[in-house]
């Protein structure tokens, strides 16, 4: 028995070390395989055989081929990957906008400056047609720059849409692949050997990691070895060997914008706002945080500029002496929009319009109008605050909803409880801005009125140049000739055409003077006029050299026309800073997250990674052991030969 035992023990060694060597070569072969976890052969002694004088060892056997894995490190990698990919996707998109906005060539700032410089040149020389022509072409460049920037943002929006499609299809294919691997793994579990399918587990872990690059997921391991995968707020993506699907759907307000929907039996439900992490989370966050607010901020500058410039131009007179018209198109009428929710139940579909009433109160937020059956509430989306509300009857009866410089009015149609509308006062303004005037002479550089004191006046009274009271439209009698005649040093009559005229016997105090407010103009009378002195306000006929309105138009460059005392440039600067901060934040935090990820990977590699030197050493070790085991067999053979030789003799 002893000889047979020796041979048996030797063979057990040979076989075990062969397994070990195979496993080592498997490790070496997969040293660079993504997601591979190194494997190790677990050896143990075979059960000993009882002999009279004790237990006789029976050699070695392979217990298990163990996969060296740290579930903790894997979980860390999975969550770090999601966070990192989220920030990275955000950063990649955001840096595009970042570079575009402040660039000397593509940014808004240089054209804005060029426009106002040209305006000043008109103020310097209002008669000059070339100067006016330059102003128009600078205005054209400004308009084009607004549109260009908006178009770039629009392109980014389209890019986001196609990214969403790709990500959704990737997520679906990963979900199917995971479900397939789940099925295979469950089958192995089912055969009850207790041995684990190492390479399948690796493959599944790797699939989950790749899925986590697309979107943040949570996983739960089942008793049958299957891994269930959830996204968002617990929507199941994979259960056992079944994969659910997600799909892209249109935004409920804006069909040009895609959202991610979860395909359920009741229909596809938007889960965009529940998703975070991964490329998907980054892309969605970028869209809501940067693209939409950039469009709004840019639009607000365009709208504010167009409105204030138009208003001032309409208070002036052009080179032909006619009252000025709109310089830019009236975008505050055309671009603000109200988008109904596609799920609204009101029939016929309600028609609501929005207009901008005060650019200085305008925010960069969108708004949501909600109908709850009794009243309408307008919510500012940026901080989710109800800014105003109105009883339903009053609103449909014609009372407008007014807040934050916008005014919503009901036109027609019905409402169902729960109907809501997205209100975008500024989003499209940068796209819609255009030049209204085409003739350089239409720039209203002059004021429409001028004052004069009679040459035969005796007293020291003076009248100021006079200015037109905004906002437009101007008073119908603005350019009527109005005469102020002093009937005594302290009384005066105002005569001419206009509301409230003639007005006689007005009291004048020579020490304080008086501010006249007539026919939509205002002028100061000062000094001590004598009885019989006359002052006249007339239309500024032939007033081609007048630059008073041009000076006011130029002044808009630094005027605090927008919310919180911002001028156009500083509002744009705020946009640049906001995008810059968001980009920088994403850059810095993605770098930090990268370090976290690297650490998790290092941790995983330290447990699961293949070290070729280690494998080489093991190779040598098991090779030697194999040689030794072979030697044992040879020894057993020798022993048998010796025994045979002894018997033969």
Partner 1 sequence: MRVSTRLYQDTGVNAMLEQQAKVSKTQLQLASGRRILAPSDDPSGSARVLQLRQSLSITDQFQINANTATSRLQLEESVLNNITNALQRVRELAVNGSNDINSNVSRGAIAVEVRQLLEEVLMSANSRDANGEYLFAGFQGLTQPFSRDASGNYLYAGDEGQRFVQIGPNRQIAMSDSGTEVFRAIQNGNGVFTTRENAANTGTGIMDPGSVNGSFVRETYTITFTQVLPTDPITYGVTDSTAAVIIPAGTAYQEGADITFNGVRTNIKGTPADGDSFTVSPSVNQDIFTTIDNLAVTLETGAGNDAGRAHFANAVNRFLTDIDQTLTRVLETETNVGARMNAIDSQFNINDAYSLQLKGAISLIEDLDYAEASSRLNLQLVGLQAAQQSFIRIQGLSLFNYL
Question: Which of the residues 588 through 647 are near partner 1 (CB under 8 A)?
Answer: 598, 601-602, 605-614, 616-617, 619-620
Site residues (CB under 8 A) for partner 1, limited to 15-74: 31-32, 38
Q: Are 36 and 30 in contact (CB under 8 A)?
A: yes
Question: What are the structure tokens assigned to 522, written together?
Answer: 């205002």
Q: Are 57 and 48 in contact (CB under 8 A)?
A: yes
Q: Please, which residue, 28 or 381, has the CB nearer to partner 1? A: 28
Does position 223 interact with partner 1 (CB under 8 A)? The reply is no
Does position 272 interact with partner 1 (CB under 8 A)? The reply is no
Q: What DSSP assignment string belongs to 136-188?
A: HHHHHHHHHHHHHHHHHHHHHHHHHHHHHHHHHHHHHHHHHHHHHHHHHHHHH
User: Pick from 19, 67, 337, 584: which binds partner 1 (CB under 8 A)?
Assistant: 584
Closest distance to partner 1 from the beta carbon of 543 (Å): 4
Closest distance to partner 1 from the beta carbon of 587 (Å): 6
| 278 burial level (CB within 10 Å; 0-12, 13-18, 19+) | buried
User: Pick from 17, 84, 90, 116: which binds partner 1 (CB under 8 A)?
Assistant: 116
User: Pick from 98, 292, 366, 432: which binds partner 1 (CB under 8 A)?
Assistant: 98
The one-character DSSP state at 47 is P
**Which region holds residue 449: left if phi is over 0, alpha if psi is between -120 and 50, else beta?**
beta
User: Pick from 22, 169, 173, 570: which binds partner 1 (CB under 8 A)?
Assistant: 570
User: Pick from 56, 62, 75, 109: which binds partner 1 (CB under 8 A)?
Assistant: 109
Q: Please, which residue, 332 or 546, has the CB nearer to partner 1? A: 546
Q: Please, which residue, 256 or 560, has the CB nearer to partner 1? A: 560
Q: Which stretch binds partner 1 (CB under 8 A): 336-344, 364-372, 448-456, 495-503?
A: 448-456
Instruction: Please enumerate in sequence order all residues whose Cβ is within 8 A of that of 620, keeping only pairs 6 or more positions apart, or say none.
Output: none
Query: Around Cβ 155, how many Cβ atoms within 10 Å?
Result: 11
Closest distance to partner 1 from the beta carbon of 439 (Å): 17
As a residue count, the chain comes to 649
Q: Are 408 and 423 in contact (CB under 8 A)?
A: yes
Give the DSSP H/E element, type plus range, for residue 489.
Answer: none
User: Pick from 29, 273, 439, 452: which binds partner 1 (CB under 8 A)?
Assistant: 452
Q: Please, which residue, 80 or 94, has the CB nearer to partner 1? A: 94
* C-alpha–C-alpha distance, residues 66 and 196, integer Å: 8
Closest distance to partner 1 from the beta carbon of 418 (Å): 41
Does position 2 interact with partner 1 (CB under 8 A)? The reply is no
Q: Which stretch binds partner 1 (CB under 8 A): 334-342, 372-380, 425-433, 551-559?
A: 551-559
* C-alpha–C-alpha distance, residues 644 and 508, integer Å: 149
Question: What are the structure tokens assigned to 510, written together?
Answer: 């020579």
Site residues (CB under 8 A) for partner 1, limited to 503-532: 530
* C-alpha–C-alpha distance, residues 146 and 432, integer Å: 9
Site residues (CB under 8 A) for partner 1, limited to 460-489: 465
Q: Which stretch binds partner 1 (CB under 8 A): 104-112, 225-233, 360-368, 406-414?
A: 104-112
Does position 551 interact with partner 1 (CB under 8 A)? The reply is yes
β partners of residue 391: 375
């Amino acid at each position: 028995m002893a000889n047979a035992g020796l041979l048996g023990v030797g063979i057990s060694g040979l076989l075990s070390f062969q397994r070990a060597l195979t496993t080592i070569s498997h490790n070496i072969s997969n040293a660079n395989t993504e997601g591979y976890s190194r494997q190790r052969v677990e050896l143990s002694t075979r059960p000993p055989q009882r002999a009279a004088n004790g237990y006789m060892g029976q050699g070695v056997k392979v217990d298990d081929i163990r996969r060296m894995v740290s579930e903790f490190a894997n979980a860390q990698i999975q969550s770090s990957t999601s966070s990192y990919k989220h920030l990275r996707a955000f950063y990649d998109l955001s840096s595009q906008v970042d570079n575009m906005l402040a660039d000397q060539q593509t940014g808004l700032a240089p054209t804005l400056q060029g426009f106002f410089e040209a305006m000043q040149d008109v103020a310097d020389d209002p008669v000059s047609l070339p100067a006016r022509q330059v102003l128009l072409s600078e205005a054209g460049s400004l308009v084009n720059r607004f549109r260009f920037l908006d178009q770039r943002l629009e392109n980014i929006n389209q890019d986001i849409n196609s990214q969403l499609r790709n990500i959704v299809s990737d997520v679906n294919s990963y979900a199917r692949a995971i479900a397939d691997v789940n099925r295979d793994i469950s089958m192995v579990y089912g055969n009850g050997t207790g041995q684990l399918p190492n390479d399948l587990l690796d493959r599944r872990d790797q699939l989950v990691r790749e899925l986590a690059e697309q979107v943040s997921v949570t996983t739960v391991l089942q008793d049958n070895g299957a891994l269930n995968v959830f996204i968002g707020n617990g929507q199941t993506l994979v259960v056992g060997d079944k994969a659910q699907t997600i799909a892209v759907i249109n935004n409920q307000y804006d069909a040009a914008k895609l959202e991610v929907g979860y395909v359920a039996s009741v229909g596809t439900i938007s889960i965009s706002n529940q998703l975070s992490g991964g490329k998907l989370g980054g892309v969605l966050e970028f869209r809501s945080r940067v693209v939409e607010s950039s469009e709004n901020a840019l639009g607000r500058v365009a709208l504010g500029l167009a409105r204030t410039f138009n208003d001032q131009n309409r208070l002036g007179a052009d080179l032909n002496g006619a009252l000025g018209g709109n310089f830019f198109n009236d975008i505050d009428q055309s671009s603000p929009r109200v988008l109904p929710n596609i799920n609204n139940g009101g029939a016929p579909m309600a028609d609501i319009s929005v207009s901008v009433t005060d650019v200085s109160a305008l925010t960069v937020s969108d708004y949501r109008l909600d109908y709850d059956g009794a009243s309408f509430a307008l919510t500012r989306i940026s901080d989710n605050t109800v800014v105003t509300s109105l009883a339903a009857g009053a609103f449909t009866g014609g009372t407008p909803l007014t807040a934050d410089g916008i005014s919503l009015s009901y036109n027609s149609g019905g409402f169902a409880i729960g109907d809501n509308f997205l209100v975008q006062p500024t989003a499209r303004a940068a796209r819609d801005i255009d030049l209204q005037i085409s003739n350089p002479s239409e720039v209203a550089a002059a004021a429409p009125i001028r004052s004069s004191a009679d040459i035969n006046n005796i007293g020291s009274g003076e009248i100021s140049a006079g200015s037109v009271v905004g906002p437009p439209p101007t008073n119908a009698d603005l350019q009527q000739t109005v005469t102020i005649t002093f009937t005594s040093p302290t009384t005066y009559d105002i005569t001419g055409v206009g509301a409230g005229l003639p007005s006689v016997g007005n009291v004048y105090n020579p020490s304080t003077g008086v501010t006249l407010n007539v026919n939509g103009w205002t002028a100061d009378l000062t000094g001590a006029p004598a009885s019989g002195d006359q002052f006249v306000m007339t239309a500024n006929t032939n007033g081609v050299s007048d630059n008073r309105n041009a000076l006011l138009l130029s002044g808009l460059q630094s005027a605090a026309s927008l919310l919180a005392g911002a001028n156009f440039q500083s509002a744009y600067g705020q946009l640049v800073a906001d995008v810059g901060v968001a980009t920088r934040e994403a850059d810095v935090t993605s770098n930090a997250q990268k370090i976290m990820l690297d650490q998790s990977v290092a941790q995983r590699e330290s447990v699961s990674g293949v070290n070729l030197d280690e494998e080489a050493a093991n190779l040598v070790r098991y090779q030697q052991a194999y040689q030794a085991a072979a030697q044992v067999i040879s020894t057993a053979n020798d022993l048998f030969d010796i025994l045979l030789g002894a018997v033969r003799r």
